[in-house]
Amino acid sequence: MARFLFTVWPFPGCLFPHMAVAEALRERGHWVAFYTGSAVRSLVERAGFVVFPFSPALECTIESRVLSADGVTSTAMSRPWRLESQLRALFAGTIPAQIDDLTDALAQAKPDVIVCDPAMWGPIVVLHEAQPVPVALLSPYAACWLPGPDVSPPGSGLPRPKDWRTRLLARAGWAAFGVLRTRLHRTVNQLRTRYGLPALHTSVAAHMAELPLFLVPSCPEFDYERRDLPGSVHYVGPCLWYPPEDHHLRLGQLREDIPAVHVTEGTIHHGEAVVLKAAADGLAGLPVEVIMSAGGRDRTALGLGVLPGNVQLHAWISYTLTLPRMAAVVTTGGSGTVLAALLAGVPLVVVPVAWDQPENAQRVVEAGAGLRLSPRKCTPGRLRAAVEQVLSDPSYGVEARRLGSKLRELGGPCRAAALLETLASSKR
C-alpha cells in the first residue's frame, strides 16, 4: 500500500478530478489524504478521506482573491490592468502559507507521492526540490498548459498555431505573456531563495515539465495533437466526479419528442448571469426543452423573472444522468463541463469568460464539435442562432462523438491511478 497526499484548491472544477482519482487509488488499496480549504472539507471527509485544512490566513486569501466580487475572475473581465497583481498574490503570494501548512501535513501523512493541482505552486516551486517526496501534477484543465510551439499562451484563446499567420499571433501572444509574468517570476525566485533553492531560469509553467508525472484529463485529439511535450505528460481522459448527494434532474422529467439543451455558467460566479438570461430569452418558443443549472446561486438573485414554458431551472444537474440525453450544451466553457459533454458525445456552444474557458472554446471550434460566442455578443438572438446551427448541422454531433470515443479509450481515473501507483513504487 502506498500513501498519497492530494494538494488542491477548494473549487469544484479543481477538486472533482482529484476526488475521482483519489477514489480510484483507494479502490486499489492505497491510503489517500487531502490538503485543501474549509469550503470542501466536509465533502471530502464524507467521501472517507483525511483532510489537512488550509490555515486561516490562506482561507482569507482565497476569499479576497478568488471568491469576492473584486477577485481574479471579475478583474479579468472588468479591470485587466490589475490582473497581474491579482495573479501574483494568488499564485506566488500564497506559497509561504502553503509550505507552512504542508510541512505539518507531510510530517503526519508521510506520503509516498504528492499529487498537486498545477495552480497550487508551493509543491511545484519549493517542495519538488526541497524534500524527497516526488510531486506529480494532476491537471483539472482540458488541455496541457506546458508552453511550446504547438500552442498559444494559456488563457489567450488564440487559434492553433498551424500556419504563418497563426504562428505569428502565437509568438506575439507569448511575448505579451512574458511581459505579464516578469514580476511574478521575480517574486517566485525571491521565495525560492528564502527556501535555499536556486533561481528558476524558466517560467513556472516550463518548470512543471521537470516533474516526474503530469496527468492531463483529456486526449491528444482535443489538445491539437501536440508534439512538443516531454515524456512525463500522459493524457488519461476525463476524471469526472460528482457529490453523491447532488440534487439532479430525473430523466423522467424530460420530454421525448423534442431535443433538450443544457445551459450552465459553472460554479464560480461574478456579475450578471449573462448566458442564462440570454438563453431564457433567446430559446423561448423554440421546439427544444431548455434545462438550466443555477450552479448553486439563488434563483431570485439571477434576475431571470418568469421563465418561458420550455425552460426549466435547477440548482444542480447530475451530468452523469442527464448529459447523455442532451442534444447540445451551452456553457461558459469550464473544463469539467466541456469534457463531460464531449464524453457524452454532445456538441457545444461556448461563451468563454476567463481562466481556461477561452482555450476550451477555441479547441471545441478547432475540433468541429461546436461554436464559440463572445460574451459581449451573447445576445438572445445570437445565442438562439448558435444553438439552432449546432442542432441543425449533424457534423457538430459527429465530431463530438468522435472526441468522446477518443476520451473513453484512455481510461480516466483508473489510468491516472495506475500511473501514480507506478511512481510511488519507483520512489519506494
pLDDT in tens, 81-125: 466 777 788 888 899 999 999 999 999 999 999 999 999 999 999
When the candidates are 1.10.357.10, 3.40.50.2000, 3.30.710.10, 3.30.360.10, the CATH number that belongs to 251-408 is 3.40.50.2000
- Average pLDDT of the chain is 88
Number of C-alpha atoms within 13 angstroms, CB side, residue 159? 11
pLDDT of residue 72: 57
Give the pTM.
Answer: 0.92
Share of the chain above pLDDT 90, in %: 61
Q: Inform me whether the pLDDT recorded for 135 exceeds 60.
A: yes
C-alpha cell belonging to residue 326: 442532451
Question: What are the CA-CA distances from residue 279 to residues 242, 269, 330, 360, 380 (Å)?
Answer: 25, 17, 8, 20, 6
Domain(s) labelled CATH 3.40.50.2000 in the chain stretch across 3-239+412-427, 251-408
Concatenate the DSSP letters of all residues of 77-126 into one string.
Answer: HH-GGGHHHHHIIIIITTHHHHHHHHHHHHHHH--SEEEE-TT-HHIIII
Pairwise pLDDT comparison (343 vs 157), residue with the higher score: 343
Class for domain 3-239+412-427, per CATH?
alpha beta
pLDDT of residue 78: 46
**Phi and psi at residue 172, in whole multiples of 5°?**
-65, -40
Query: What is the Cα 136 distance to its own chain's centre?
Result: 17
Q: Inform me whether the pLDDT recorded for 251 exceeds 70.
A: no
pLDDT of residue 75: 45
Terminal Cα-to-Cα distance of the chain (whole angstroms): 11
Angle at 118 between CA 113 and CA 121, to 5 degrees: 85
Q: Inform me whether the pLDDT recorded for 76 exceeds 50.
A: no
The mean-pLDDT minimum among 237-241, 252-256, 286-290, 344-348 falls in 252-256
Asked if 200 contacts 185 with a C-beta cutoff of 8 angstroms, the reply is yes
Average pLDDT value for residue range 162-167: 89
C-alpha cell belonging to residue 264: 450552465
